[in-house]
């Protein structure tokens, strides 16, 4: 199939516009994902007031009372005045669980932000890859066989950037033995 130059130019413009719009949508999606994550962090869960919950609370209270008695006995044996003795508070429902702790929310938020940023970069890369493939195909259409072979000589990223293996990185960290003069002068660098 042959494409005219005018049609090729129009298709290139459309491909570039689609790429631009797709990148904007990706940025918007990142914001939505982050907002959704923040909502999850802020969610307060309620417990059901069922018999199961009542039994669980009763068991926890009994365990706390038993522990408090053991602590009081040990403090008395050690001569620690009652007003200075440690105390176990009774169990209660935390609607946010561990997410009520500011440091925990900050930790989770940081992980979510870095993960969403990575997802966004991956999406943008895929958009650019597909867009460039379309543009290359449009531009290469009609090129001579020799010109197309030159295009195929471009190196692949996987070949230029192989995956790291933990063993390789560990080997980079091992101290190297440097010989300075005699065997007695050998030292780590």
What is the SS3 assignment for 33? Answer: helix
Q: Identify any residues that bridge with 177 across adjacent strands, giving them in sequence order.
A: 188
**Count of Cβ atoms closer than 10 Å to residue 88 Cβ:** 14
Share of the chain above pLDDT 90, in %: 35
Cα→Cα distances 112→24, 26, 30, Å: 20, 16, 10
Q: Give the distance, in angstroms, between the CA of residue 4 and the centroid of all CA atoms in the same chain.
A: 46
Q: What is the average per-residue pLDDT within 54-80?
A: 91
Do 35 and 121 touch, CB atoms closer than 8 A?
no
Alpha-carbon dihedral of residues 109, 114, 120, 123, nearest 10 degrees? -130
Best CA proximity match to 122, nearest among 46, 26, 32: 26
Q: For residue 66, is pLDDT > 90?
A: yes
Beta pairing class for 177-178 and 187-188: antiparallel
Q: For residue 137, is pLDDT > 90?
A: no
Q: Which residues contact 30 (CB under 8 A, 6 or more apart)?
A: 116, 117, 119, 120
Read off φ and ψ for residue 187, nearest 5 degrees.
-150, 160
pLDDT for the residue 184: 53
Q: What is the average per-residue pLDDT within 116-131?
A: 93
CA distance 165 to 43: 40
């Amino acid at each position: 199939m042959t494409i005219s130059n005018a049609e090729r130019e129009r298709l290139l413009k459309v491909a570039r516009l689609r790429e631009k719009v797709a990148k904007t949508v990706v940025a918007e999606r990142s914001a939505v994902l982050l907002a959704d994550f923040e909502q999850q962090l802020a969610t307060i869960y309620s417990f059901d007031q069922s018999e199961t919950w009542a039994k669980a609370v009763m068991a926890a209270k009994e365990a706390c009372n038993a522990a408090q008695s053991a602590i009081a006995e040990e403090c008395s044996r050690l001569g620690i005045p009652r007003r200075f003795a440690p105390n176990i508070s009774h169990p209660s429902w935390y609607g946010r669980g561990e997410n009520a702790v500011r440091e925990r929310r900050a930790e989770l938020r940081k992980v979510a932000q870095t993960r969403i940023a990575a997802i966004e970069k991956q999406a943008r890369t895929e958009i650019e890859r597909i867009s460039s493939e379309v543009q290359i195909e449009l531009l290469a259409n009609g090129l001579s066989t020799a010109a197309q072979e030159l295009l195929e000589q471009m190196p692949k990223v996987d070949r230029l950037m192989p995956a790291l293996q933990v063993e390789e990185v560990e080997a980079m960290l091992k101290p190297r033995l440097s010989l300075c003069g005699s065997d007695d002068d050998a030292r780590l660098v």
